[in-house]
Amino acid sequence: MYKKTIITLLFIKLLTVTGMAYINDGLYLSTYMGASKSANNTLFFKFQDQDDLTYNARYDNKSFSDSHWWMAKFERWKNKKSVGIELIHHKIYLKNTNDIINNFSISDGYNLLYFNRGKQINNHILRYGAGIVIAHPDITITGRDRFKTKGIKGLFLSGLSIKTDHEYILYKHKTAIITLQTKLTASYAKIPISTNKNEYVIAPDYAIHISIGYARLLPKKAKLKEKILFLTPLAYPKLVGKYILNTAFYPN
């Protein structure tokens, strides 16, 4: 499914042709639906009651299941340049579990929060950003209870991340924009695996993300209707998940 999705989105990106679509100055709210793919990587588990474990991990991202992949962005544009913040609900699931690691996923979010800078060149937008990893682990180790805490208490500030992305404008209205985005992220995270603070896993992640975005501009002298329309991107990933993918916007 991932391969078909990525090929389809890249095909759209190559074939879509529009006129020049310059972004107006002002505040923009954007949300995105898409998929991510993490590269195979090395995990390091630090235990207190057994030998440490270095593990060659193979990942699945399950972007279209459970709480699906989504992204949200808030930006200020001026003179074809932008600054803003971005949140990605990214997920990783270990495919090759073993006798020690029964289950390992950062599936309620290997969440990435960035501060971005961007620049528009014709119909293309280039961005780079730096930020933090906020992880919500779900781990089961042999002989132990499952380690997972629901809600905000299960979120841990875990590491640092950098990113770069390319966005292509597919359609632009006066206050609405539809785009296709390709993103690369590189992250380092130290995540707890139990209530013992001396036990953790080092879980770096290198991933590609491809998505379709919907953005709205907030006019300077916005009327009530324009203010309401400015918030409509918030409904995009939630409605697609509920009525098309049959998934949740928030982790269970």
Query: What CATH number does the domain located at 2-245 have?
Result: 2.40.160.20
Q: What digits encode the pLDDT tens for the residues 2-29?
A: 555 555 555 555 545 445 677 889 999 9
Lowest mean pLDDT of 8-17, 85-94, 115-124, 145-154, name the range. Answer: 8-17
* Mean pLDDT value across residues 171-199: 94
Helices (H), the chain: 2-15, 224-230, 235-240
Q: In this structure, what are the phi and psi dihedrals at residue 50, rounded to the nearest 5 degrees? A: -160, 175
Find the mean pLDDT for residues 71-89: 96
| Domains of the chain, residue spans | 2-245
Q: Is the pLDDT of residue 74 over 60?
A: yes
Q: State the pLDDT at residue 193.
A: 94
